[in-house]
Amino acid sequence: MDKIRIWLIAKYQTFVSSIAFIPGFISLGFLVLALIIFYFDLSDVGQQLKVDIPWLTIIDPSTARSILGAIAGGIISLTVFSFSMVMIVLSQAASQMSNRVLDKLIGNRFQQIVLGIYIGTIVYTFFLFSTIRDTGDSFQIPSLSILLLTVITVFDIFLFIYFLHYITQSVKYDVIIDRIKSSTFEGMKDFCNSTTEVKELTEFAAMSIVRASRSGIFEGFDYKEMKDFMSKNKCSLLSIYPMGTYILRGQPILKCSRALDDDQVEEALLGIIISTQESVERNYEYGFRQLSEIALKALSPGINDPGTAIISFRALVDLLGFRALNFPSSTLSGDEDPYQIYRKELSFDSLFERVICPIWDYGEDDRMLRSEFKLLLEQLSLIISSTPLFELLEKVDKKSNSL
């Protein structure tokens, strides 16, 4: 049952995060709306309304079909043009910034909502096409439904105008960087919720080893599954690697305080999240690396854009300032049980060396970047005492004085 539950949760998350989920849901809503308005159109109230207001009635079926055909063709063209432009923008962002920013652009909810409204309008139109039919003495024409479709089409046109503005604004480098920074900050707020740093655990009586069942990126634990496992088997666990580490199949990933048989090892593996793709929500360090990659790409000879590198560097220093004062909890325990998972976390020094030092190594000869390094690192040094930070600040001063 645990395997089935975890499989269902994984499939549900994949389905909900799919780019087709929101458009499909909205399209289904438009179809339901079309059915409701169509039946209202044929009801006694709808018929009486068209008698009281004659201009709501469409008498000629060819006129109705012409309206529906023009709307369907226009919205299809609008949809193709809108999302051709989106794909061009995505290609440009990937080539000039980093492939890792694509998930921020592809997964944008507003773009998916716009796509859903366009497709929903097309579904609504095709449904009305099928309702115009000869009833013997006259034609069945859903006049009120066609009138509502006309109103929706006008709304789609104004939505298209706003969509053009939104796309041109959302692909600016500073906007993309700010989105990554915001999602990383939200991930850190949830994960780094301790104001005191817990030193690394030096002593742990390991009686057995849990090895990874497949290769992938270690992204933490299913908390409910691991709490149940610890309570059932009366043991504590020690994580060997920090989150975000790529683990090879068969390599040790956990140490356990008691001896485990094969079935218990299988149970423990159910609570370990090993993924083929990283996410900022589960691993905030991935957001740091995205920002660092953007800065490095901007400093490359092919792009040569130190301004974007500086914006990305500022975002990194801002996030590091929060991380310097807030620390991840190193343990995970049940509500009443004494058993715990001891998590290995990246220290501030390790994180600083991973994301800041490569930018300096690549752009130390750029005068603009050097000035920004000196300014921001001096401010960061007032918040935290860090050996890599002081060493890099010394390099910045030495480089500036030698020129």
Percent of the chain scoring above 70 in pLDDT:
86
Residue 188 burial by Cβ neighbours in a 10 Å radius (0-12, 13-18, 19+): buried
Domain boundaries, the chain: 2-171, 183-193+285-326+348-401
Contact 290, 100 (CB under 8 A): yes
Model confidence at 227, in pLDDT bands (50, 70, 90)?
confident
Q: Is the pTM of this model over 0.85?
A: no
**Could you tell me which residues come within 8 angstroms of residue 278 by beta carbon, excluding any fewer than 6 positions away?**
217, 219, 244, 286
Percentage of the chain modeled with pLDDT above 90: 16
**Which tokens in the block code for residue 236?**
């504590």
Q: Tell me the average pLDDT across 324-350.
A: 76
From 70-74, 94-98, 252-256, the region with the lowest mean pLDDT: 94-98
| Six-digit token string for 207 | 């009686």
Nearest to residue 208, comparing CAs of 290, 292, 279, 267? 267
139 pLDDT tier (thresholds 50, 70, 90):
low
pLDDT interval class at 90 (50, 70, 90)? confident
Q: Is residue 333 predicted with pLDDT exceeding 70?
A: no
pLDDT of residue 120: 92
Rounded CA-CA distance 75/71 in Å is 6
Q: Report residue 121 as tokens.
A: 């309008």
For the stretch 246-265, pLDDT in tens is: 899 989 888 888 888 888 88
3-state secondary structure 255-304: EECCCCCHHHHHHHHHCEEEECCCCCCCCHHHHHHHHHHHHHHHHCCCCC
Cα torsion angle, 134, 135, 139, 141, sign: negative
The Cα–Cα gap between 359 and 362 comes to 5
What is the arithmetic mean of pLDDT over 7-12?
A: 67
